[in-house]
Amino acid sequence: MTKERMMELIEILNEANYNYYVLDNPTITDQEFDKYLRELITIENAHPEWRQEDSPTQKVGGEVIDSFGKITHEIPMLSLSNVFSEEEIIAFDERIRKEGVHPTYMCELKIDGLSMSLNYKDGKLMTGATRGDGVTGEDITHNVKTIKTVPFKLKEKVDIEVRGEIYMSKKTLEELNRVRKENNEPLLQNARNAAAGSVRQLDSKIAASRNLDCWIYHLPNPEDYGIMTHSEAIDYMKKLGLKTNPCNKLVSDVQGILDYINYYHVHRKELPYDIDGVVIKVNSIKDQKKLGYTAKYPKWATAYKFPAEEVLTKLKDIIFTVGRTGQITPNAVLEPVLVAGSTISRATLHNEDYVKMKDLRIGDIVSIRKAGDVIPEVVEAKKERRTGNEKEFEMIKNCPICGDFLYKKEGQVDYYCMNPLCPKIHMEGLIHFVSRHAMNIDGLGERIIEDFFNLKYIAKKSDIYHLDEHRDSLTELEGYGEKSIDNLLQAIENSKKNSLERLLFGLGIPNIGEKTAKMLAQRYGTLDHLMEAPFDELVAIPDIGPIIAKSLVEYFAKEENREEINRLKELGINMTYTGPKIEVNTAFEGKTFVVTGTLEKFSRDEIEEKIRLLGGKASSSVSKKTAAVIVGANPGSKYDKAKELGIPIWSEEDFVNQVNE
Ligand code: IVH
């Protein structure tokens, strides 16, 4: 057990990792690798003082930081302009030729991840940073070190900065989402979000567990190394032991670019990682210099973005569902297909007009895509593939659950079941009442509500608070032990203390969402006060339009609703707002703010809530009326728009300072 042996093992294992992960060309077996690794761990444990920073054992993470430091990019990290069509690619090429450049282009895959910069000194990895706003990024060194394809040491002792993309493979993302689904956590919507969320972990063990990877595609100052072309830069970085993409290809004209795009448009499915387009770069560094930059983009490169993926399948049926407000929604039942990574067998068709406008017929071959890469959407029917056996769509006239006649409100497109006794509406209402953002009664999930409803233990909301009277018979039900029933009854009891906004949202008053419920609860303090508020007073509140005001007045006027509220009151359910008070701050009162990018101290919900508590309003789009845009890391187009409109830009720190003033 000598230090020499330890150094030798580090060398062997790092080389094996490089061959395996970077070159995709294993040189030793897994068993050999494990044997060497165990030997190394044994030595390191016996002699912690010998431990080396570049040891492969460090790839499992361990470093935890308190907050992200900042790293200034000496050469700003720019973004790329976008093109979406052949015409735009031709125009891009023409602009370049007009400058007297006769380009060779490098075509590269546009990796769907997030960009990073790596700094090496003397061949040793010093720091890793995110792009941030392009000038200052976040120090993510502790997490970058856990990426197996980021070498601790380069093959030459050079001082160099390289840039590339951190990404998560399709397989890892799928696996992560499978676990999240099991734990009832929100799913990560795409590889980019997944990678971004992972590098923003304070605990590097979590980042390590995310199995991130990278492709290196940019050398910011090639001349310092005597490099004249981008392709040479790629070769050089590869020689240093960095992971460069083998799909890169040099082409000599627009046709070459189009061929590359078409090839990967078809074959992107087979890649183990997500790409969202192709990047086209002028190869000669001299030409790049000549073409120069705009404020945001290099003029010598652009990104072609793929159109959203569309897949064909059969529309097997259109079925109707009843929501908690009685709203009837047609839904497409599809032959299951894989779209952008997940299997789709259902898609909402919104309403009768939507189906008729698209002229969807049962039996049609339809194209499906995921809007924003998340929500499945039926794009159109392939009319040329009709056989004549397709069935035309007909809106139903009666509720699919209770059979009652359906009504359409004036000027609206949706049909409603208005039967106050429709069991489905009741059940959906109960499910909503107990849900996480409403009364938040743990253990009272959809299935249990359905069971208890069918067994007639609960028909209306207040019955939930009588369940304790049935404790003994409930514990005898199959599948419900004493312990689980007691826990459930305790959760029901606890929910009585909820602040008013939860009850108000839970009542399921049409058009009253979570945010409106909160604002009303804060404003009125008690349910009694709100129930007395006349229409005119309600519409005068900012953000309350005539639809919401009418909805509230109508709801509270109904005898059956007043009776139910009384029953809840008698059962001891709190009807007072007990959350944080509005502390109006003149810097915020009556003003609208927009938040973009990832913040450090607040989640998006938290900062928006804080803005509301200060008397302001949080909006999702920037306009001339926006008072300020609060910008975190990796801001989106809202940041650009704010700059364009000259809207004040606040960092998170500026925001905190304003709050404290
Ligand atoms: S080159 C000055 N190459 O796309 C050149 N970017 O939309 C800067 N990206 O911020 C970037 N794959 O995060 C380049 N092969 C590739 C890329 C790539 C993905 C990302 C990168 C950039 C964004 C621009």
Distance CA 193, CA 195 (A): 5
Tell me whether the CATH fold assigned to 423-497 matches the one assigned to 592-660: no
**218 ligand 1 Cβ < 6 A:** yes
DSSP at 506: H
Average pLDDT over residues 39-55: 91
**303 ligand 1 Cβ < 6 A:** yes
Asked whether 199 and 130 are in contact (CB, 8 A), the reply is yes
Domain 70-305 fold is D-amino Acid Aminotransferase; Chain A, domain 1 (3.30.470)
Distance CA 651, CA 597 (A): 10
pLDDT digit string (tens) for 403-416?
999 999 888 889 99
- How many other CB atoms are found less than 10 A from the CB of residue 433? 23
Average pLDDT over residues 40-52: 92
Q: Which amino acid is at 349?
A: L
Instruction: Please state which of the ranges 183-187, 276-280, 450-454, 547-551 shows the lowest mean pLDDT.
Output: 183-187
Average pLDDT over residues 288-317: 91
Asked whether 230 and 281 are in contact (CB, 8 A), the reply is yes
**219 ligand 1 Cβ < 6 A:** no
pLDDT digit string (tens) for 191-228?
888 899 899 899 999 999 999 999 999 999 999 999 99
Q: What values do phi and psi take at 393, rounded to 5?
A: -75, 135
DSSP per-residue codes, 257-319: HHHHHHHHHHHGGGSSS-EEEEEEEE-BHHHHHHH-B-SSSBTTEEEEEPPPPEEEEEEEEEE
Q: Which amino acid is at 421?
A: L
Q: Which of 217, 245, 274 to mutate to test the pocket of ligand 1 (most atoms within 8 A of CB)?
A: 217
Average pLDDT over residues 226-246: 97
Question: Terminal CA-to-CA distance of the chain, rounded, Å?
Answer: 61
How close is the Cα of 110 to the center of ligand 1, in Å?
6
454, 456, 459, 465 alpha-carbon torsion, rounded to 10°: -120
pLDDT category, 27, cuts 50, 70, 90?
confident
- For strands 301-305 and 82-83, give the pairing: parallel
Residue 371, pLDDT score: 61
Distance CA 356, CA 353 (A): 5
DSSP at 239: H
DSSP per-residue codes, 515-577: HHHHHHHHHH-BHHHHHH--HHHHHTSTT--HHHHHHHHHHHH-HHHHHHHHHHHHTT---B-
Q: Look up residue 592 and give its two tokens.
A: 């609208």
% pLDDT > 70, the chain: 98
CATH entry 1.10.287.610 includes domain 3-58: yes
Could you name the CATH architecture of 311-417?
Beta Barrel (2.40)
How close is the Cα of 115 to the center of ligand 1, in Å?
7
User: Looking at beta carbons, which pairs linking 450-456 to residues 24 or more positions away fall under 8 Å?
Assistant: 451/477, 453/423, 453/426, 453/427
How close is the Cα of 208 to the center of ligand 1, in Å?
24
**452 ligand 1 Cβ < 6 A:** no
Residue 463, pLDDT score: 96
Distance CA 315, CA 345 (A): 9
Asked whether 69 and 215 are in contact (CB, 8 A), the reply is no
Q: Where are the domains of the chain?
A: 3-58, 70-305, 311-417, 423-497, 500-570, 592-660
pLDDT digit string (tens) for 180-198?
777 767 667 678 888 998 9
Per annotation, catalytic residue among 35, 70, 98, 110: 110
Average pLDDT over residues 319-328: 89
Q: Look up residue 125 and give its two tokens.
A: 């990895």
Assign domain 423-497 to a CATH class. Answer: mainly alpha
SS3 167: strand
Assess whether 110 carries a catalytic annotation: yes
Could you name the CATH architecture of 500-570?
Orthogonal Bundle (1.10)
- For strands 114-121 and 160-167, give the pairing: antiparallel
Position 372 pLDDT exceeds 60: no
Distance CA 170, CA 190 (A): 9
Distance CA 93, CA 258 (A): 12
Position 392 pLDDT exceeds 90: yes
Asked whether 213 and 111 are in contact (CB, 8 A), the reply is no
Q: Look up residue 495 and give its two tokens.
A: 């929910």
User: Which residues fall within 8 angstroms of residue 660, CB to CB, at 6 or more apart?
Assistant: none
How close is the Cα of 51 to the center of ligand 1, in Å?
36
Asked whether 58 and 153 are in contact (CB, 8 A), the reply is no
- Residues found in the chain: 661
pLDDT, averaged across the chain: 91
Assign domain 592-660 to its CATH superfamily. Answer: BRCT domain (3.40.50.10190)
pLDDT digit string (tens) for 67-109?
889 999 999 999 899 998 999 999 999 999 999 999 999 999 9
Distance CA 368, CA 344 (A): 9
Distance CA 205, CA 63 (A): 7
Q: Look up residue 309 and give its two tokens.
A: 């993926």
